[in-house]
Amino acid sequence: MPEILDGLKIRDQILSELKPRVAQLIEKGRAPGLAVVLVGSDPASEIYVRNKVKACEALGIYSEKITPPASITTEELLAIIDRLNHDPKIDGILVQMPLPDQIDDQAVLHAIHPDKDADGFHPMNVGKLVENAPAARSCTPAGVMEILKRSGIEVAGKKAVVIGRSDIVGKPMALMLLHANATVTICHSKTANLAEECSRADILVAAIGRAELIREEHIKPGAVVIDVGMNRVNGKLFGDVQRAAAEAKSSAFTPVPGGVGPLTIAMLMSNTVQLAERHMSVKA
């Protein structure tokens, strides 16, 4: 039987390691601060934000939830971002996606000061990821790297295939694996012979957002399979990988739910603490 990579256990490890760092910052002068901006009332986004605020409370991180109406203009939202950029209590800013259609997403993400970018999405921080310089990293792929590291899975020298090329997961995932000395291939919706490309992978990361797209023919025997997918079908949650296929072919895999998902908020907390440590040391 393959090893099931338990994201809940790894999340708890990371959060327990953050607690003394938060306590040190409080002793030094103040708690780390995270502002979450939730525009409108999308039910899924409300759940995500509630979980983020709850994680802050458990760690002793100051959180500020801003909930402008769905009718807000880009200019009004930029004014909120500008206020948060200048608020000394706030170390990290997160704007929950998706935003209403009238909002210029790029303008909003670019307006967040790079040194308060808790999600690692600002172009300057993406550039720092490219050159492997210190900066906040995109939370989900950073969580995948923690799963691999804490599960004792060797990355250097391995063939890694990432399915998906999104700015949030696919592209940063490929760069993080590359910096860990894997040989990386990126596949996507236009890739020819997807199963053939995937079946070469020692580490297969599925992040394409299609329920159970990845089956036995995509998985090399003994591969490590990381399933980033979160797809709701008739009210039930499915990953991008057919679980039976992962169980039949892999040496280790992340389940859905309980695999990569819990790490996303843990890495957001980690980014916020790192930003606070940087801000407090600069002021010291």
Give the CA distances from residue 146 to residues 41, 97, 126, 137, 143, in Å, rounded to whole numbers and listed in that order: 32, 24, 19, 12, 5
Give pLDDT tens digits for 124-162: 999 999 999 999 999 999 999 999 999 999 999 999 999
Report, in this order, helix, strand and coil percent for the chain, each rounded to 5. Answer: 45, 15, 40
Give pLDDT tens digits for 59-98: 999 999 999 999 999 999 999 999 999 999 999 999 999 8
Q: Phi/psi at 49 (nearest 5 deg)?
A: -65, -40
191: buried, middle or exposed (CB in 10 Å: 19+, 13-18, 0-12)?
middle
Q: Are 169 and 141 in contact (CB under 8 A)?
A: yes
Give the CA distances from residue 281 to residues 25, 120, 134, 245, 278, in Å, rounded to whole numbers and listed in that order: 10, 20, 15, 49, 5
CA–CA separation, 170 and 131 (whole Å): 17
Q: Are 228 and 164 in contact (CB under 8 A)?
A: yes
Give pLDDT, residue 42. Answer: 82
Catalytic residue among 91, 96, 240, 249: 96
Q: Are 61 and 269 in contact (CB under 8 A)?
A: yes
Give pLDDT, residue 105. Answer: 94
The arrangement of secondary structure in 139-261, i.e. its CATH architecture, is 3-Layer(aba) Sandwich (3.40)
Catalytic residue among 52, 116, 171, 249: 52
242 is catalytic: no
Domain with CATH 3.40.50.720 in the chain: 139-261
Give pLDDT, residue 41. Answer: 85
Which among 200, 215, 206 has a CA at the least distance from the CA of 163?
206
3 state DSSP class of 164: coil
Give pLDDT, residue 283. Answer: 55
Catalytic residue among 91, 116, 117, 119: 119
Give the CA distances from residue 170 to residues 138, 141, 142, in Å, rounded to whole numbers and listed in that order: 10, 8, 11
96 is catalytic: yes
pLDDT in tens, the chain (284 residues): 999 999 999 999 999 999 999 999 999 999 999 999 999 988 888 888 999 999 999 999 999 999 999 999 999 999 999 999 999 999 999 999 989 999 999 999 999 999 999 999 999 999 999 999 999 999 999 999 999 999 999 999 999 999 999 999 999 999 999 999 999 999 999 999 999 999 999 999 999 999 999 999 999 999 999 999 999 999 899 999 999 999 999 999 999 999 999 999 999 999 999 999 999 985 54
Domain with CATH 3.40.50.10860 in the chain: 29-115
119 is catalytic: yes
CA–CA separation, 109 and 93 (whole Å): 10
Please state which of the four CATH numbers 3.40.50.10680, 3.40.630.30, 3.40.50.10860, 1.10.10.10 is assigned to the domain occupying 29-115.
Answer: 3.40.50.10860
Give pLDDT, residue 157. Answer: 98
